[in-house]
Amino acid sequence: MTSTPNEPLLRIRDLRKQFGHNEVLKGIDLDVFTGDRIAVLGASGSGKSTLLRCINFMETPSSGTIEIAGQVIGTALPERPGKQERRYTESELTRVRQRAGMVFQQFNLFPHMSALDNVAEGLRTVQKMSREDAILKARAQLDRVGLSDKASEYPSRLSGGQKQRVAIARALAMEPELLLFDEPTSSLDPELVGEVLRVIRALAQEGRTMLLVTHEIGFAYHFANRVLFIADGQIYESGTPDEVLKNPRKKRTQDFLARHNEFNF
């Protein structure tokens, strides 16, 4: 399913997340349309991962709503003073996680499974595919990320770049409408970054809808049609890559970019 021109694929309203007394997200509003490629920047600890994790409900939002293709996730609970909590069922969240696939900094592959089985696992357990069909589909996904020849390798025998490409293949296998990347290259040796960014660039060229948390400012500039800078638990500044990365209007964005001035773009 895709969104209609006027209806965002993902609509976030007043999303808040707190851990104990630490309110990390303080009211995020965001519309993501089909085909958007959004780069999310911000200082360490600003809540970028928390935002992505709330979108696919690895973290439960404290309040606010997340809507995918017009469908609000969860059911409103009777309001308590100062709270707008919602109730989520596991089956609903399983569907959401298929629609919003996540790629992690640390790959999160199963060490005891081959690359092929890592990609096939969700197809079998979540989508209930037969082993034969799952393997067939998993092979096609490994092929897309250039790893056909590594299908039977275990993660310990793959480079970081290869592991991340397996993780991308695993996410793609579920045919998500939205791809969430959380610093997919920041744990890689510099010489392995390029092969992962090439895969992400190819996905962008296919018109996929993506949110990418990254510190690769130069890549973000060319990849994104929209850039968000997160600070103080909010979208502090947003706009086109030229607006936010070349001509930031606000002080904290300017300071952040000044600290990343080794990037040329």
Ligand X SMILES: Nc1ncnc2c1ncn2[C@@H]1O[C@H](COP(=O)(O)OP(=O)(O)OP(=O)(O)O)[C@@H](O)[C@H]1O
Where do contacts with Mg ion occur on this chain (CB under 5 A)? 49
Tell how strand 10-19 and strand 22-32 pair up: antiparallel
Rounded to whole angstroms, the Cα distance separating 37 from 260 reads: 21
How many chain residues bind ligand X (CB under 6 A)?
Answer: 11
Please select the residue that binds ligand X; options are 50, 114, 118, 162, rule is CB under 6 A: 50
233 near ligand X, judged by CB under 6 A: no
Rounded to whole angstroms, the Cα distance separating 9 from 209 reads: 9
Rounded to whole angstroms, the Cα distance separating 99 from 149 reads: 28
SS3 content of the chain, % helix, strand, coil (to 5): 40, 25, 35
47 near ligand X, judged by CB under 6 A: yes
Segment near ligand X (CB under 6 A); pick from 16-24, 31-39, 147-155, 253-261: 16-24
The candidate with the shortest Cα–Cα distance to 194, out of 172, 171, 164, is 164
Q: Which is nearer to Mg ion, 49 or 185 (by Cβ)?
A: 49
56 near ligand X, judged by CB under 6 A: no
Q: Which two tokens stand for residue 175?
A: 């045919």
Q: Which is nearer to ligand X, 11 or 48 (by Cβ)?
A: 48
Q: Which is nearer to ligand X, 19 or 110 (by Cβ)?
A: 19
- CA quadruple 97, 29, 17, 256: dihedral positive or negative? positive
Helix (H) / strand (E) element for 207: namely: none
49 near ligand X, judged by CB under 6 A: yes
List of residues 6+ apart from 125 with CB closer than 8 A: none
Q: Which is nearer to Mg ion, 49 or 118 (by Cβ)?
A: 49
In the complex, residue closest to Mg ion by CB: 49
Please select the residue that binds ligand X; options are 1, 19, 79, 232, rule is CB under 6 A: 19
The candidate with the shortest Cα–Cα distance to 8, out of 231, 177, 171, 223, is 177
Rounded to whole angstroms, the Cα distance separating 119 from 105 reads: 17
| Identity at 233, one-letter amino acid code | G
Q: Which two tokens stand for residue 94?
A: 């399983």
Q: How far is the CB of 63 from Mg ion (least distance, A)?
A: 21
173 touches, from ligand X, Mg ion, none (C-beta below 5 to 8 Å by class): none
Q: How far is the CB of 25 from ligand X (least distance, A)?
A: 8
Q: Which is nearer to Mg ion, 49 or 56 (by Cβ)?
A: 49
| Identity at 51, one-letter amino acid code | L
Q: How far is the CB of 53 from Mg ion (least distance, A)?
A: 9
Please select the residue that binds ligand X; options are 24, 169, 204, 224, rule is CB under 6 A: 24
CA-to-CA dists, residue 255 to 43, 172, 243, 259, angstroms = 10, 36, 15, 6
46 near ligand X, judged by CB under 6 A: yes
Q: Which is nearer to Mg ion, 49 or 209 (by Cβ)?
A: 49
48 near ligand X, judged by CB under 6 A: yes
Binding site for ligand X (CB under 6 A): 19, 22, 24, 42, 44-50
